A and B are shown apart, each in its own frame.
Chain A
Amino acid sequence: MSATQTAGERELAELIVTALNLEGVAPGDIDPEAPLFKTGLGLDSIDALELALEISKRYGFQLRSDDENNVRIFSSLRSLAAHIATNRVNG
Chain B
Amino acid sequence: MTLRVAIEGVSFWASRLPGWEIARAVIRGDQAPPEAPSPRPSPTLLAPTERRRAPDTVAVALEVAVRACEAAGRKPSELPSVFASTHGDLAISDYMCSTLATTPTLISPVKFHNSVHNAAAGYWSIGTGSLAPYTAISAYESTFGEGLVEAATQVVCEQRPVLYVAFDIEAKGALSSMAPSRGLLGAALVLAPVSSSQQQRSLILTTEPVDQCQPTLARSAAAPLVADNALAPCLPFFEVLASSSPRTLCLALSRQLALNVQVN
Stretch at the interface among A3-11, A26-34, A45-53: A45-53
* Closest residue on chain B to residue A22 by CB atoms: B52
The answer to whether A46 touches B53, judged by C-beta atoms less than 8 angstroms apart, is yes
List 20 other contacts, CB 8 Å, given A50-B108, A53-B109: A20-B52, A21-B52, A21-B53, A22-B52, A23-B51, A23-B52, A42-B48, A42-B49, A44-B49, A46-B110, A46-B113, A47-B49, A49-B109, A50-B109, A50-B110, A53-B106, A53-B107, A53-B108, A56-B106, A57-B106
Chain B 34-61 near chain A by CB (<8 Å), digits 1 or 0: 0000000000000011011100000000
Q: How far is the CA of A46 from the CA of B108 in the complex (A)?
A: 10
* Inter-chain residue pair count (beta carbon < 8 A): 25
User: Which A residues lie at the B interface, using CB under 8 A?
Assistant: 20-23, 42, 44, 46-47, 49-50, 53, 56-57
Q: How far is the CA of A53 from the CA of B52 in the complex (A)?
A: 18
Q: How far is the CA of A17 from the CA of B113 in the complex (A)?
A: 19
Contacts of A22 in B (CB 8 A): 52
Contacts of A42 in B (CB 8 A): 48-49
Q: Label chain B's interface by main secondary structure.
A: helix
Q: How far is the CA of A20 from the CA of B52 in the complex (A)?
A: 7
Looking at B48, B106, B110, which has the most chain A CB atoms within 10 Å of its CB? B110
B-side interface residues, number (CB < 8 Å): 11
Looking at B53, B107, B109, B113, which has the most chain A CB atoms within 10 Å of its CB? B109
A-B contacts, 9 listed (Cβ < 8 Å)? A21-B53, A23-B51, A46-B53, A46-B110, A47-B49, A50-B108, A53-B107, A53-B109, A57-B106
* Closest residue on chain A to residue B47 by CB atoms: A42
Contacts of A56 in B (CB 8 A): 106
* Closest residue on chain B to residue A48 by CB atoms: B109
The answer to whether B109 touches A23, judged by C-beta atoms less than 8 angstroms apart, is no
Measured CB to CB, the closest approach of chain A to B39, in angstroms, equals 15
Q: How far is the CA of A56 from the CA of B48 in the complex (A)?
A: 26
The answer to whether A23 touches B106, judged by C-beta atoms less than 8 angstroms apart, is no
Q: How far is the CA of A53 from the CA of B49 in the complex (A)?
A: 18
Q: How far is the CA of A51 from the CA of B181 in the complex (A)?
A: 31
* Closest residue on chain B to residue A62 by CB atoms: B105
Measured CB to CB, the closest approach of chain A to B213, in angstroms, equals 46
Contacts of B49 in A (CB 8 A): 42, 44, 47
The answer to whether B110 touches A23, judged by C-beta atoms less than 8 angstroms apart, is no
Q: How far is the CA of A8 from the CA of B139 in the complex (A)?
A: 50
B:76-125 near A, CB below 8 Å: 106-110, 113
* Closest residue on chain A to residue B109 by CB atoms: A49
